[in-house]
Amino acid sequence: MIVVAHPTGNSNVRAVLGAVAQAGLLAEFCTTLAFDRSAGWLRYVPDGLRRELLRRAYDIPPGLVHTRPWREAVRLSIARGPLRVRAAQAGGWTSVSAVYRDLDEYVARRLPGMKNLRGVYAYADAAISSFGAAKHLGLKCFYDLPIAYCRTSRLLLEEEAARHPEWGATLTAINSAEEMDREDDELRRADAIFCASDFVLDSLPDWVRCSKDVVVAQFGSPARSTEPREERVEKRGKLRVLFAGGMSQRKGLADLFGAMRRLNRTDLELVVMGSLIAPMEFYRREYPDFVYEPTRPHVEVLRLMRSCDVFVLPSIVEGRALVMQEAMSQGLPILITANTGGEDLVEPGRTGFLVPIRSPETIADRLDWFADHRAETRAMGEAACAKAETYTWAAYGAKIVAAIERHLA
């Protein structure tokens, strides 16, 4: 039996939970906030709030879920208010890192009192205390690394800050020395490490790859849309190019803007959906002619994708951006860098194209091709959709469970 711990929960955490529970290995799941879909009081909650709360619902028996809610509840309650900047400051009581570490310490305190426990499955930045307690108890440590190794990430982002100093304020994910030392300690204590892409695997230092069992398990994709897709290009005469993600140069947005400035085509429209990291005026100065779409619930994200023709993500650092497979599942070919973690998704000229990082000219060349080859673009979208269907959450969970069982044996 193992404990699974994650502060917030997401699609891949749910897939791990489901697979571990189905294998009869789940002792409990530790998180910050969790809500039971069947709770009667939810009927009296306004629809919008109820949908928000149920983002923290998990399809496992409620008795297996243990929560550490207060710090995360306070963080969320002030995240959109006047104290949001102070709440997000590194080291603050309600910062993301504080929430992660608080849960980590909570799990560490729980472990000694549990019976028949054989391992702990924890995530980067939320594992050092729980892994320390697990090692003391002779338990196995399973580590999920969702983004590139911290020192590789820092090097790439520091290079971006020098290359595009005007975008420096958007590079909020540069690790501190303390955070990097912490990740190194977590990696040393891990018995198995799970990565979502070859890019994450390749980012790891030799001392990890040569001494640890590192397993690459790719995420699953959403189901293919059953809604008919509108004949967008024929109606508007414009090719709609979608970027989705945090509006940062970590995602390569400066390079995409640079490509659009090079093209200057009236039959091509850039749609940017994401959270603002700098004021809107900054982005408009960099490239004024994009259509901005704010973040929205997942179902509405997929609907927006179906109104577009091509998905572009020229990221500098990722783990595996799930949004790529979401776009493919809605019939969009992709234009991405290998650093998105999605190199295996691209069959060049069939499901999309790979471009080098830091290459606005190559992005522009490929967008030019899409705009000039509308029928081929539509066919590539169908091929991308079929490709996305080959990646399932069941296969993702099964690969992780197989590795866990191998170590427990």
**Domain with 153 in it:** 2-220+393-408
pLDDT along the chain (409 residues), means of 10: 93 94 96 86 79 83 92 80 49 80 96 94 96 97 96 96 95 87 96 97 96 96 73 66 96 98 93 95 97 92 95 97 96 97 97 98 98 95 96 96 95
- Based on the domain organization, do 120 and 102 belong to the same domain? yes
Determine if the pTM surpasses 0.85: yes
Query: Quick one: which H or E segment has residue 18?
Result: helix 11-22
Separation CA 386–CA 397 (nearest Å): 21
* Closest CA relative to residue 355, chosen from 369, 366, 347, 368: 366
Q: Judging by DSSP bridges, how do beta strands 239-244 and 310-313 pair with one another? A: parallel
Separation CA 209–CA 204 (nearest Å): 7
The number of folded domains in the chain is: 2
- Based on the domain organization, do 94 and 186 belong to the same domain? yes
pLDDT for 79 equals 64
pLDDT for 87 equals 47
- Based on the domain organization, do 8 and 42 belong to the same domain? yes
- Based on the domain organization, do 207 and 121 belong to the same domain? yes
- Which two structure tokens, joined as six digits, stand for 234? 């024929």
Separation CA 271–CA 232 (nearest Å): 14
Contact 329, 308 (CB under 8 A): no
- Based on the domain organization, do 88 and 140 belong to the same domain? yes
Residue 62 sits in a domain of what CATH number? 3.40.50.2000
Q: What percent helix, strand, coil does the chain show, rounded to 5?
A: 50, 15, 35
Query: Quick one: which H or E segment has residue 66?
Result: strand 65-67
- Based on the domain organization, do 38 and 140 belong to the same domain? yes
- Which two structure tokens, joined as six digits, stand for 285? 């100065």
Separation CA 108–CA 30 (nearest Å): 11
* Closest CA relative to residue 401, chosen from 19, 8, 145, 7: 19
- Based on the domain organization, do 104 and 211 belong to the same domain? yes
| Contacts of 305 by beta carbon, 8 Å cutoff, 6+ apart | 242, 244, 311, 326, 327, 330, 332
- Based on the domain organization, do 266 and 189 belong to the same domain? no
Is 226 within a domain? no
- Based on the domain organization, do 151 and 290 belong to the same domain? no
- Based on the domain organization, do 178 and 236 belong to the same domain? no
- Based on the domain organization, do 399 and 385 belong to the same domain? no
